[in-house]
Structure 1
Amino acid sequence: MSALALGLGATGLSAQIPDFSVQTIDVNQAVQNGATTLVGEKTAIVRATVRLTNDPGTPVFVDGLMRVFVDGEEVDDSPVYTDNGPYQVLVSINEGELDQTMNFTFIPPTSNNVTLSVEVNPAGPNQVPEQTAANNITIKGPLTFIALGRPDMAYAPVDYRLGGGSSPNPPDTALIEPGVGDNFIQGVYPVPDWDYRRIDAPTKLWTSSLNGGGSALNNSLTADLNLMVPKPQYIYGWIPGSLPYNGQSIINGVASMGNTQPIRHQRTFAHEVGHCTGLFHHNGSTGLWGVDVEHHLAITQVLPKIKPPTAKDIMVAGLLSHQAWVYLPNYTGWMSHPKFQPGINAASAGSDEGETLFVAGIWNAVTGQVQMTDMLTLPSGRLSDTAGDGSEIIVRAFAQGQIVRELAVATVSSSDCSDASDSDESSPLVGFNVNLPVRSAAGVPIDQVVIVQGNGRALSSLMLERSANAPRVAFVSPAAAQLDGDVLRVAWEGSDADGDELTYYLRYSRDGVQFSPIHTSTQDTSFTVNMKQLPALVDGQGFFELFATDGLNTTVVRSELLINAPSFAGGGGNPPWAHILTPDAGATLLEGATVILHGMAWDLEDKGLHGARVAWSSDLDGALGTGRRTSRNDLSAGDHVVTLTVTDSDGMVSTDTAAVTIVARDLPDAGTKICQLDLGFGGPGNSTLSMCGGDLSSGTSADLLLTGAAPNASAWLVLSLSAAPMPFKGGTLVPIPVLAAQPHTTSVAGDVLLAGIPGGNGPMSFVLQFAIQDGAQPHGLDFSNAIQADFLP
């Protein structure tokens, strides 16, 4: 019983023997100030600073273990071995050097009661003689890891052919695919993951100049998103090569665009998405050490994992990728953004309010001129909200002289930011777009849209009126409903009795449910389609749909229902897309270190793939697990080819591989995790008691851990040889008759740890329960659950 009461004491070793303890524990998922909110299922690095006392004067290398508890129970993936042990312990450290702390990587659960137990110099082949092991374990927690959603981001490779032409000019696929293009947003946004995937069409054709800005393209991309079913939350256009600016977006919009210059394009993407979430330019540094936890930005610029406090926030204009990381207020602010909440994904993002009138244009903030870029009636859209006072543009919709809706449209125009252009050079061209109702509450169609100035800014008023005649349009190709080849020309004829110029939007539906825009914002009257690059046709259910608009009049026609000829090779489904995000090809890790397996799996027909359809394996160790993100810490030493295998509902399979080297090392003794019997009876209060470790036979030990209690509170560990629950002070006291009541004080985190309680001297059983002083409870006491500790011979 004395061992249970006292734990491990000092050994009285020589003063020349060093002593180790864990001084600080930092949990970081991108940036951390000590109180930054943590996110469940998002990979985290735990950096433990080890204090060395009685420095022997020669280099000392130690290892460590981290155990993870949820509600007092150790999780299946625990313990976690170090990423870098044994590592050299220094008297003073530089936080910017990754290997000057003892590091652990893990995927945290979503829970409000996670406790981390970090042990330095555990038993095992690398254990170093020290003065005492009583101070080797430090507790961090209880910690809360909140739930966030998985945003859906569709990207469009823009086939940029200035002035037209027949030569394709798309961006380099290798620079924009998952695991490359999205590396910066994966690193700095707090969400656990992104559905970052290509639009259904292989490219988006664009022939107008982008030299003066990307506002017209962003308006067209916004129209594309509104024509999609299901709808993503955001869409991004990748331009081949460089631009006179980095990129452009609309504040609080859904569309943005940017370059594919490797030294900057990943940061540009994260920057423009930041504008879409409502952020503006500023000139601040991050001010904190940051960590690219999964080391996404090793590709393409081989950037380091640690980010210095001098790095600029991604919302500073005009940066290269190596100059940027994330500013804490932006990082934490995203956690409350409505599109990042749990349950928000591609399916829920497709909800809409029926027909809407999409109105988009460009305002020249210097001349005041307004030019319309897109205007059509959408079959499904979301009505825009007014931006309120201070907006430069007011849009009003009328029906027979009665105002139906008035919207103040937010725009941006400042010395380094115009229409959220990621450049230090100001452009006067400001894009805007809104979704208006198509008719009044009484059912009268909108017949006039007026755009006027707001906030005293120069703007030439523009009045758009419904003409007398709607466009006439009809498909002329394909001539037959039966498709007998991969490539076909879709063509149409259009006319307008009023002489209005017509703009066309072509989309495809494989089954009458899913819709994919394939050629939009165009005056072309034909487009060549490769059916094998689109979601596979369901015979007799799919069709092409064409929108012809003169402004306030939109005519919609559909082709005949399409069927595949028996000999048509393109009639089958498409294989899914498989991309490994982590680990990178060529990565080297130490044996026992956590290997994060993070992938992207998408299918043109099924959309997002998850669970058992996403499988991981190694050519050395076989099956490793399933799901978009999982982890292993038991890969054998050697050279592995890690394979991600993705299977769609048609049984079609795609794979991606990464060669990874695991370097052999000796590991600490993790032991077999055994937790003593939980007898229950906890409450009132939130404290939890556990005793886990060895089986309490001779030569083993276990840790007694109390979590969730009031901080800095008096606590008594009550012991008995039997359990006879009885009411006491508003709770239930279980160890009756009381053999002893040992006084303790909880830490600032509300925990008590008695580490390394030795087993043996059994068989004998103790019943243990904590009573903690807690003024929040009716009778001033918090009672933990009781446990039964069975000591073996």
Structure 2
Amino acid sequence: GTIAPERRITVRNSPNRLDTDQSFLFRLPFWAISGGSLQVRARLNPGGFPLEPVNGASDNTMLSPNYPVYTSPRLGLLLAEFTYTLNGVTYRPQGTLANATWISRAYPLGYRLVGGEYEPGLEWNSVAVEDSQLGARVGRMLPQCEAYVVRDDKNNITEDNREFCASDYVNGRLARVRYLFGAPSSTFIYGEIPDSGLANFFPRGQAHEGRISSGPDAVVWNGYYAGHEVGHTAALGHPEQSIVAGCIDRFYELDKDGNPDFSKPIRGDAKPTYPKAHIGPDNNSVNGLTYANFSGRWRWEVLPGSQWDDMMGYCNQPNWPHQWISDQNYERIYSFLAPALADADADVQQVPQAGDYLALFGSIAPAGNQAAIALFERWSEVMAMPDITAGEFVLRQFDQNDQLLSGVSFAAADGTEGWRPFELVVPAEAGVARVAIVRASDNLIIAEQSISANVPTLSVPTAVLDGDEIQIAWQGSDADGDTLAYDVYASRDGAMFEPLQFGLSGTSTTITAAEIGGGSVVFRVIANDGVQTAAQDSAPLELSAQPPQIRSFDPACGFQINWGQAANLSADVWDLQDGLLPSSSLHWQLNGADNGTGYWQSYISALPICLNTATLSVTNSAGLTTTADCTFFVDDDLSVPAAELSVTPATVNWNFNSEDPALQTADLALANLGGGTLTWTASENASWLTIDKGTGELPDTLQLTADPTALPSQSLYNTMLTISAFDEEGQLYQTIELPITLWVDQGGYTPPLNTSSGNKALYLPFIRQP
């Protein structure tokens, strides 16, 4: 088919490929990339107006290479939304949709053909978890958080890592979902911990084994932070180039005494190979491309490879979030997920294995001289057990007389944040009363915990539907006099138990029925005295089915296109009972007329010039339907638009090493997107920033130069460059303020306070400069 570009442009002899306003942009309909290859023919001035007397139209057509189109892999993702109360204020996650959409946009995920129907490559779900104990960990108030404080032989604090206290705990809780309740092994699990914004209470994220990770939830973090931690669980590490640039601390192998051997550095991830772990080389031959709000205008924007960081790096922390994904890590994630293409949906149904098990989850300090046990419980059954590799540590079990019963050698995982996570589920020895984690080289006990003699007593919980709420009640006691905490889970129609509430001190709670979904629902209560656990299930409670959820449209409704352009509209849909619905369950109408089924629609010739309404109706297996409208406008005004100042790139970021303070430059492309004539002026007030000229006529190029020689090390500077446009009469027409950041000697991670040669392949969302 024939597709019109997004806007008219003035064709230049030497266009700036970092400026989307100097390029034709075409939106390909979904069906164009649903085959095994893609070839496009571009024709300039197809109407022959104006006439071209010199060469005619002989040089106006170009045929692209035949690009292969790869099948989208599948990524199953469970987002656990943790809610907690701290200092009387309740904090709830707000970034679930942002996390899911960022991963969907940045990762190599599209639509995949399953049983003759297209389904989203990203299959995500969320669960809301209220945790009564998490707030104290975010606030670093519990004694358990002291395990993350490293002291010398004089008891002086040498390292305070209590920022891991919350995420280590959340990862332990999520490990329950994996090993105790049988979450599919292919599913990635990410815990969202609200960032209160309070000083010293930042819940730093980290990744554990078993495709489990967690991180902070706040506007400044949402999206790429989840992409970063999920990336760790997809076998991506912190880039060596970030370490070389001083953006991340270097870690070292340990000597026989458990101390860092500075002659044996542990290398970071070899990719991306670009300087400072940027998404492309310094010559900007590889760049990112995204659709976002830049300088107050929604538009497609090139993300210069030399300016934006790979999501696994840290070298642009002064301007977070300034992260995307490099082409190298894009391909690596595709390779990691691709083996699951053939049987992505066929996770083996797991069966409970009855027995007596000890489950320990936590982290070991980089020096191996202390450990933090984030979760330690005794279970009477498991659905799965993590693999254990023999290594430099031993889990030992002792009886009440302190006699050794057994020992299991294990290796902690490589710690992406220095601290090394471990996951242990082992058979409990009869009579075990204490466990200790020991460093094998010198028998140093780095963590230990006792086990009480008696298992808590727990009654069968009752579950009663009262209007829109479910009242759950139980009784519990402990013969040892230990304080009990209670966790509540729900299973619908025999499916996996999902978490609802953690750490309750009382013996009753209320659940909103609409959050559970319909079917035969069993509630499980687990009593915990610190290690020993007891579990009881309620009688099944029949709940009414809930309608499907239309979570979002992409692009967001209200967008505008020109007549002749392709309009792609997709929907993100989930059902509490059925999960991911078949695409035949999604029915579309365009302006009241039936327009097919599926997760996406592409419109070209069918669009009238007016306000258009796409109506989506989604029906689940219970026959319940949810309907939503999405309006967008088709414009017929193809005349030259009014004058408009454009400045590209939209931000400038520099990182300097004080030992090699060479000047750095950046070129800004200044353009007039419309008709008429505009002149411009530029002004700035930073001593370290100079511009090569202060005025000119559009189009133009402005060069910026940064000189850090007089600036102290370990310093951060921000300024705004003001560029003003004036019309033909000299009147101020438009002003753009461009944020500029300079960092000298960027050190280790500190969160901001304001909370393949010769092959023809096209990787989206990347563009390669010709």
Answering whether residue 564 of structure 2 is matched by residue 592 of structure 1, we say yes
Q: TM-score, normalised by structure 2?
A: 0.62
Residues 396 and 451 in structure 1, CA contact (< 8 A), matched pair in contact too: yes
Answering whether residue 631 of structure 2 is matched by residue 659 of structure 1, we say yes
Displacement of 1:322 in angstroms is 4.7
Matching residue of 1:626? 597
Matching residue of 1:645? 617
C-alpha separation between the residues in 1 aligned to 2:428 and 2:412?
Answer: 20
Residues 360 and 375 in structure 1, CA contact (< 8 A), matched pair in contact too: no
Residues 86 and 136 in structure 2, CA contact (< 8 A), matched pair in contact too: yes
> CA, structure 1 residues 523+347, in 2 after alignment: closer, same or farther (shift >3 Å)?
farther
Per-residue deviation, residues 55-107 of structure 1 (Å, max 9, x unmatched): xxxxxxxxxxxxxxxxxxxxxxxx25143354332111111111323333333
Answering whether residue 513 of structure 2 is matched by residue 531 of structure 1, we say yes
C-alpha separation between the residues in 2 aligned to 1:254 and 1:218?
Answer: 10
Matching residue of 2:229? 272
C-alpha separation between the residues in 2 aligned to 1:182 and 1:319?
Answer: 24
Matching residue of 2:425? 436
> CA, structure 1 residues 656+313, in 2 after alignment: closer, same or farther (shift >3 Å)?
farther
> CA, structure 1 residues 120+446, in 2 after alignment: closer, same or farther (shift >3 Å)?
farther
2:70 aligned residue (130, 141, 146): 146
Matching residue of 2:667? none
Residues 79 and 127 in structure 2, CA contact (< 8 A), matched pair in contact too: no
SS at match of 1:460: strand
SS at match of 1:574: coil
SS at match of 1:545: strand
Return 144-153 or 101-110, whichever deviates more.
101-110
SS at match of 2:445: coil
Answering whether residue 557 of structure 2 is matched by residue 561 of structure 1, we say no
1:316 aligned residue (313, 317, 330): 313
Displacement of 1:115 in angstroms is 4.1
Matching residue of 1:516? 498
Matching residue of 2:456? 471
Q: Report % sequence identity.
A: 21
Matching residue of 1:328? 327
Answering whether residue 117 of structure 2 is matched by residue 199 of structure 1, we say no
1:234 aligned residue (151, 164, 189): 189
C-alpha separation between the residues in 1 aligned to 2:637 and 2:123?
Answer: 37
Answering whether residue 249 of structure 2 is matched by residue 249 of structure 1, we say no
2:526 aligned residue (522, 534, 547): 547
Displacement of 1:502 in angstroms is 4.4
Answering whether residue 279 of structure 2 is matched by residue 286 of structure 1, we say yes
Matching residue of 1:461? 446
Return 636-645 or 88-97, whichever deviates more.
636-645
> CA, structure 1 residues 476+547, in 2 after alignment: closer, same or farther (shift >3 Å)?
closer
1:475-490 → structure 2 map (5 Å cutoff): 475=460, 477-478=462-463, 483-490=465-472
C-alpha separation between the residues in 1 aligned to 2:431 and 2:49?
Answer: 79
> CA, structure 1 residues 325+147, in 2 after alignment: closer, same or farther (shift >3 Å)?
same
Residues 149 and 343 in structure 1, CA contact (< 8 A), matched pair in contact too: no
C-alpha separation between the residues in 1 aligned to 2:535 and 2:84?
Answer: 27
Residues 588 and 663 in structure 1, CA contact (< 8 A), matched pair in contact too: yes
Matching residue of 1:188? 106
Residues 508 and 517 in structure 1, CA contact (< 8 A), matched pair in contact too: yes
Matching residue of 2:545? 573
C-alpha separation between the residues in 2 aligned to 1:300 and 1:350?
Answer: 50
Residues 589 and 615 in structure 2, CA contact (< 8 A), matched pair in contact too: yes
Displacement of 1:253 in angstroms is 4.7
Residues 506 and 547 in structure 1, CA contact (< 8 A), matched pair in contact too: yes
C-alpha separation between the residues in 2 aligned to 1:80 and 1:522?
Answer: 61
> CA, structure 1 residues 116+546, in 2 after alignment: closer, same or farther (shift >3 Å)?
same
Alignment size in residue pairs: 551
Displacement of 1:548 in angstroms is 3.0
Per-residue deviation, residues 26-75 of structure 1 (Å, max 9, x unmatched): xxxxxxxxxxxxxxxxxxxxxxxxxxxxxxxxxxxxxxxxxxxxxxxxxx
SS at match of 1:384: coil
C-alpha separation between the residues in 2 aligned to 1:396 and 1:322?
Answer: 44
Matching residue of 2:438? 452
Residues 390 and 409 in structure 2, CA contact (< 8 A), matched pair in contact too: no
Structure 2 gaps of 5+ residues are 111-119, 140-162, 243-276, 640-757, 761-770
SS at match of 1:631: strand
C-alpha separation between the residues in 1 aligned to 2:297 and 2:238?
Answer: 24
Residues 228 and 515 in structure 1, CA contact (< 8 A), matched pair in contact too: yes
Displacement of 1:229 in angstroms is 6.1
Residues 558 and 630 in structure 2, CA contact (< 8 A), matched pair in contact too: yes
Displacement of 1:209 in angstroms is 3.0
Residues 171 and 214 in structure 2, CA contact (< 8 A), matched pair in contact too: yes
> CA, structure 1 residues 127+109, in 2 after alignment: closer, same or farther (shift >3 Å)?
same
Matching residue of 2:171? 218
Residues 87 and 102 in structure 1, CA contact (< 8 A), matched pair in contact too: yes
2:475 aligned residue (490, 493, 510): 493
1:66-465 → structure 2 map (5 Å cutoff): 79-84=1-6, 86-106=8-28, 107=30, 113-121=36-44, 123-124=46-47, 129=52, 131=55, 133=57, 136-162=60-86, 168-172=90-94, 176-178=95-97, 180-192=98-110, 193=120, 195=122, 197-201=124-128, 206-211=134-139, 212-213=163-164, 214-226=167-179, 231=184, 232-239=187-194, 241-242=196-197, 244-245=201-202, 247-282=204-239, 283=242, 284-287=277-280, 288=284, 289-293=286-290, 295=291, 305-309=301-305, 310-317=307-314, 318=317, 320-338=319-337, 341-342=340-341, 348=347, 351=350, 354=353, 357-363=358-364, 368-377=370-379, 379-386=381-388, 394-395=394-395, 406-412=409-415, 417-419=417-419, 432-438=421-427, 450-453=436-439, 460-463=445-448
> CA, structure 1 residues 105+402, in 2 after alignment: closer, same or farther (shift >3 Å)?
farther
Residues 578 and 654 in structure 1, CA contact (< 8 A), matched pair in contact too: yes
SS at match of 1:217: helix
Displacement of 1:437 in angstroms is 4.3
Displacement of 1:149 in angstroms is 2.4
> CA, structure 1 residues 263+508, in 2 after alignment: closer, same or farther (shift >3 Å)?
closer
> CA, structure 1 residues 117+149, in 2 after alignment: closer, same or farther (shift >3 Å)?
closer
Residues 152 and 345 in structure 1, CA contact (< 8 A), matched pair in contact too: no
Displacement of 1:461 in angstroms is 3.5
C-alpha separation between the residues in 1 aligned to 2:3 and 2:410?
Answer: 57
Structure 1 gaps of 5+ residues are 1-78, 420-429, 564-570, 668-747, 751-793
> CA, structure 1 residues 187+252, in 2 after alignment: closer, same or farther (shift >3 Å)?
farther
Displacement of 1:195 in angstroms is 4.1
Higher RCO (C-alpha 8 Å, min separation 6): 2
Displacement of 1:465 in angstroms is 6.6
Displacement of 1:448 in angstroms is 7.2
> CA, structure 1 residues 207+471, in 2 after alignment: closer, same or farther (shift >3 Å)?
same
